[in-house]
Amino acid sequence: MASNIQAIVMPKLGLSMTEGMVAKWHVQAGASVAPGDVIADIETSKITNELEARGAGVIRGSLVEEGVDLPVGSLLCVLADEAATEQEVEAFAAAFSPLDGDSMEVAGEPAGDTHGANEIAEAKAGESRKGDAGSGAVPASLQGAEDDAQAPATHLARKLARRLGVNLNKIAGSGRRGRISKRDIEQAILAAGGAMPAARSTQPARPMAADDRHIPATPLARKVAAQAGLNLAEATPTGTRGRVTRADVEKAIAASNLAASAQPAAQPAAASASGEACEEVPLTSMQRTIARRLAESKQAAPHFRLTVEANMDRMLSLRADLAHSMENGKVSINDLLVKAVASALMKAPAVNIQFDGETIRRYAAAHVAVAVALENGLLTPVIQNANQKSVMEISREMKELTERARSGALKPDEFEGGTFTLSNLGMFGIKAFDAIINPPQAAILAVGATERRRILADDGERTATMMTATLSCDHRVIDGAAGARFLQAFKEVAEHPYRLLI
């Protein structure tokens, strides 16, 4: 009887995740685990998640070092039954090659994902079966020509649906918030009387070589990376269909050179150039990611800014009225501003977009990301479909998301997919500021503190509570007129906020 040996790999916890690190191991080599046992804490640039065991067995071999960044799909440790010999475990680990993160399903549940070698091989084999779906394999009831781009689905599920001709609108998702997985599609086909297409070969997929040939990239990007000795997995792709471009490689090379010059750990009481004692603290994974993404945004996106002032007297009055109708907590001005932004995006859809450098994605719903300051960085949890939610719903959801963001418990689908960002520094007394666009979004609104000010009105001069809002736009895809229409709509609803309750 063959020994059961499985690879526990770095899980893909979000569509944009390319690497992570083991923040803490909860097991040691030789420990027995059961399905559902927490093996380790996995930290990414945005969240920390628990990695659970899917199968039972014994942790064999060595564990990767804590605190080291590893690409998605990298081997973390080996899970095997007691019958496996040390030679078998060592041979398995030695032959293991980093997996292609893009072919791994995004973990949709709070815990991370532990992939067995057979399961991953099957997923890779399934992705490579082109044109092998026989006629009638997918029942007509699951097909259709209507657009299913807005259906919530994992990356792997969407690829499988395209290959088989399945319309995702006709699939019931079992994941969080109805998210559709590859397994949901397979079960729906079988339940409807269809059959999954057979594989052309019963042999497991050949492990990829320990290089970056599986990374989609332009020929020039591949050449530049080879000359610089850079693995393409280290570059963040911005090209069409997730391809790495030459610009992506050059940015990764620059970031690598910068990281190489950094100290590996904090050095208390180090001497500065002037001889004064100081403490040197390396950037966290989150801080490095924020620095890289915002630097890229500033360099690639030609920012232009538009500013408007809004009278907030009526919004402050509405907030006070709503406070009496809420049992738990109070509605904040920020909650009302989220709803106002969502309403304005519906009136200025040219601003409610994402842009990857080549393709514009227009959205029918407003997914408003809200900047939340953390001790070591910034997170932008997303209020999905904010235009369809009441102010009370937004307020409750925003409190929950903020609490989870500050505790590091946000799930990937709670901070990805935003179409626009709201950044509010009014609570710090900041009157006005400019914000950098959060890619792949194309615009961000920066709002400052309210202040009492003398203004001219039709009935003469009077005092009003005013707020300054500055819109930063990517001029490649949003022109001045589109930005102005958004601000016009935002100002209108901010000054007449009772319309938000209709």
- Specify the CATH number for the domain of residue 496: 3.30.559.10
- If asked whether residues 101 and 44 sit together in one domain, one would say yes
| Residue at 390 is within a domain | yes
Q: 410 CB contacts (<8 Å, ≥6 apart)?
A: 46, 47, 379, 381, 401, 404
Please state whether beta strands 48-52 and 19-25 pair in parallel, antiparallel, or not at all (unpaired): unpaired
- If asked whether residues 44 and 87 sit together in one domain, one would say yes
| Residue at 198 is within a domain | no
Question: For residue 109, which of 351, 390, 412 has the smallest C-alpha distance?
Answer: 412
Question: For residue 3, which of 62, 85, 64, 101 has the smallest C-alpha distance?
Answer: 85
CB 234 within 8 A of CB 252: yes
| Residue at 285 is within a domain | yes
| Residue at 205 is within a domain | no
Count of domains for the chain: 5
- If asked whether residues 244 and 223 sit together in one domain, one would say yes
pLDDT for 340 equals 97
Mean pLDDT of 306-324: 92
CATH number, position 13: 2.40.50.100
CB 412 within 8 A of CB 14: yes
- If asked whether residues 105 and 253 sit together in one domain, one would say no
Look at residue 100 and tell me whether its pLDDT is greater than 60.
no
Cα–Cα dist 7/208, whole Å: 15
- If asked whether residues 443 and 317 sit together in one domain, one would say yes
- If asked whether residues 395 and 492 sit together in one domain, one would say yes
Whole-prediction pTM value? 0.56
CB 397 within 8 A of CB 383: yes
Average pLDDT, the chain: 80
DSSP state of 217: B
| Residue at 200 is within a domain | no
- If asked whether residues 340 and 247 sit together in one domain, one would say no
Please confirm whether the linkage preceding 440 is cis (ω < 30° from 0): yes
Cα–Cα dist 277/268, whole Å: 8
Cα–Cα distance list, 11 to 8, 41, 72, 111 (Å):
9, 11, 6, 10
| Residue at 343 is within a domain | yes
- What is the residue range of 390's domain? 301-501
- The 3-state DSSP composition of the chain as helix, strand, coil percent (nearest 5) reads 35, 20, 45
- If asked whether residues 63 and 167 sit together in one domain, one would say no
Please state whether beta strands 32-33 and 57-60 pair in parallel, antiparallel, or not at all (unpaired): antiparallel
Give the number of other CB atoms < 10 A from CB of residue 330: 12
Look at residue 274 and tell me whether its pLDDT is greater than 80.
no
Q: Angle at the Cα of 260 (from 255 to 265), degrees rounded to 5?
A: 115
pLDDT for 262 equals 46
Which pLDDT band, with edges at 50, 70 and 90, does 257 fall under?
low
- The structure tokens listed for 306 are 């538009």
| Residue at 435 is within a domain | yes
Give the number of other CB atoms < 10 A from CB of residue 368: 30
Q: Which residues belong to the active site?
A: 475
Kindly report, residue by residue over 168-210, the tens digit of the pLDDT: 888 888 766 677 877 788 888 888 887 776 544 333 333 333 3
Residue that is last in its domain, among 274, 300, 326: 300
- If asked whether residues 157 and 277 sit together in one domain, one would say no
Question: For residue 440, which of 304, 152, 240 has the smallest C-alpha distance?
Answer: 240
- If asked whether residues 30 and 138 sit together in one domain, one would say no
- If asked whether residues 59 and 176 sit together in one domain, one would say no
E strand spans, 272-395: 277-280, 303-311, 353-355, 360-362, 368-370, 372-374, 377-379, 382-383
| Residue at 225 is within a domain | yes
- If asked whether residues 461 and 323 sit together in one domain, one would say yes
Look at residue 307 and tell me whether its pLDDT is greater than 70.
yes
- The structure tokens listed for 229 are 């000795």
Kindly report, residue by residue over 352-387, the tens digit of the pLDDT: 999 988 899 999 999 999 999 887 778 899 999 999
How many percent of the chain have pLDDT more than 90?
32
Cα–Cα distance list, 432 to 423, 443, 450, 470 (Å):
11, 17, 10, 7
CATH number, position 228: 4.10.320.10
